[in-house]
Amino acid sequence: MRFTAFIPALISLHTVSGIVVQVNPELITHMRSPEPGHSSFIEKANCMINLSDGKFVTVVETCDAVRRAIDDARR
């Protein structure tokens, strides 16, 4: 009998301090962009990604770029 392991495709994103983070797209619950005129994001952050475990990460990539990375990882 042969078993096949499922290995999720991770996407590489960058924090505002330049650290590369690997995110499993299957764990992303939602994303949001900073709102003009509001200071809820740290400077240089372009997307906040919330994960199913309640954690979040802010990244320099735009939410559109993150969506494209998710789509590419699923192909």
Looking at the domain assignment, is residue 1 inside a domain?
Answer: no
Of 10, 7, 9, 21, which Cα lies nearest the Cα of 60? 21
Can you give the residue range of the structural domain that contains 62?
11-74
In-domain check, residue 2: no
Pairing of strands 47-51, 56-59: antiparallel
**pLDDT band at 74, cuts 50/70/90?**
confident
The arithmetic mean of pLDDT across residues 32-51, rounded, is 85
Give a yes or no: residue 51 inside a domain.
yes
The pLDDT tens digits of the residues spanning 15-39 come to: 999 999 999 999 999 999 988 777 6
Residue 59 near residue 45, CB atoms below 8 Å: yes
Domain assignment of residue 5, yes or no:
no
Residue 24 lies in a domain: yes
For residue 3, is it within any domain?
A: no
> 40: which strand partners?
none
Number of domains within the chain:
1
Among candidates 30, 40, 41, 18, which has minimal Cα distance to 66? 30
